Chain A
């Protein structure tokens, strides 16, 4: 691990003002950052510890939305009573991820920025455009079983591994970012970027930006919410394919639907294609299968993950079945 200077920020403004170049990293839970620093994938010159800047509460705002501080721990967020009752897909997604120890350490902001688990990204001996632009993608011709079938490019096929992000995408969360030029709100769909030919740029953040809050819109009390995660092990394993569903059914028809996919995309994958094939349609298996086909129509399987196309379709179909069956 490279040596760094370590400072503690006392508030968000100080943190932002101190982070003046690209070799500075904020550290909160540290579960991704320290993992990567031990592998020399991350080599910051300065760590700014943001664990004491506050931003660790969950508050219901007057307009009904729920504002989550970036420093709220994943375990606290998953067990929060309002999240469990009104945004259950988020609680389900969080509890499906990592281990209890990691959920106690990881923060909302950190999970949002979690890095890919691609083995080539994590190995400094292997060419990787995301880690070192211009060196090539080892995964396309290599071991890509767990990597993306949606949103990939000729330069990068790395999957976004977060479960929380998939649920936040289906919930249409908004990310508040504080930077040197002020504060701005970014819808989560715009927050993470496709790799294209710049896979080293994963989000809209620039050096010095600090995620301060994630805000969920006012709850939909009639919605059924499901997070279904399919993977090699029953627990403590990343998704091969996952689906977050927020659905409302009335008179047997789907009157509201949001679907996001995990484990298959280079970013958390909102599926407008599936939603278009579900809205105002009967909530039955034929509809679900048609929508699943639509969701994966643009999929490009890699050499070792073609199974994900069918797996993702069945994941969507099963998640929709679970979400729409009567309580």
Chain B
């Protein structure tokens, strides 16, 4: 602790300091507003993951089982929880990003049954029985998916916020009918926006993987 703090946590005029106020109400106080769209997660194969909101009871929560990156996970979610929020907030899989929350930017792109979709425009409860893959399930630092490796090699990102959506979208594109040209790739990737403008390198990264196949 800082030596200049007075023993009774008051500043020189005797008022309560910010630091002491926050330490007194503790972490629980700042999560109250996180309800009611908060949910709890229990992995079928691992100890329950904790989130800041795990201590709040959600009256409207319903239990569902999701298959996420090959693992079966049981969660309780408010029915209004989008698949995106279930992944990020409930399961703490924050690799998938929320850009616009209205299906207009593609940052939330994940695979459901092998197809790319915008996870912000679908509800978690709608996907029981579906196989959901997101960026964490594609590869990891020691074992990158070829598309991830190509994005690194071709410098296909700047801030990185759109990148997981770009990569998920690009991997799905490999299995869709797509012409050979850069223009064809741009058209089929038009659902993924990059505010940094890394588009030329994104296209190059994708074409590199396509040409390897």
Contact, CB under 8 Å: B190 / A99: yes
Q: Is the interface of A mostly helix, strand, loop or mixed?
A: mixed
Let me know if B177 is at the binding interface, CB within 8 A. yes
Contact, CB under 8 Å: A51 / B126: yes
Interface residue ranges of A1-30 to B (CB < 8 Å): 1, 3-6, 27, 29-30
Let me know if A220 is at the binding interface, CB within 8 A. no
Q: How many residues of A contact B (CB 8 A)?
A: 28
Segment of B17-25, B42-50, B101-109, B137-145 in the binding face: B101-109
User: Quick one: closest A residue to B60, CB to CB?
Assistant: A3
Let me know if B80 is at the binding interface, CB within 8 A. yes
In-complex Cβ contact of A34 among B121, B189, B190, B191 (8 A): B121
Residue among B78, B82, B122 with max Cβ neighbours from chain A (10 Å): B122
Let me know if A206 is at the binding interface, CB within 8 A. no
Let me know if A49 is at the binding interface, CB within 8 A. yes
Q: How many residues of B contact A (CB 8 A)?
A: 32
Residue among A31, A34, A51 with max Cβ neighbours from chain B (10 Å): A34
Segment of B89-97, B112-120, B154-162, B194-202 in the binding face: B112-120
Let me know if B173 is at the binding interface, CB within 8 A. yes
Give B87 Cβ to nearest chain A Cβ, in Å: 15
Segment of A100-108, A130-138, A167-175 in the binding face: A100-108
Give B137 Cβ to nearest chain A Cβ, in Å: 17
Footprint of A on B, CB under 8 Å? 60, 62, 78-80, 82, 101-103, 106, 109, 115-118, 121-123, 125-126, 169, 172-173, 176-177, 186-192
Known contacts A49-B125, A99-B118, A235-B187, then 10 further A-B pairs from the complex at CB < 8 Å, ordered by chain A residue: A3-B78, A3-B80, A30-B126, A79-B177, A99-B192, A100-B176, A100-B189, A104-B116, A105-B118, A236-B191
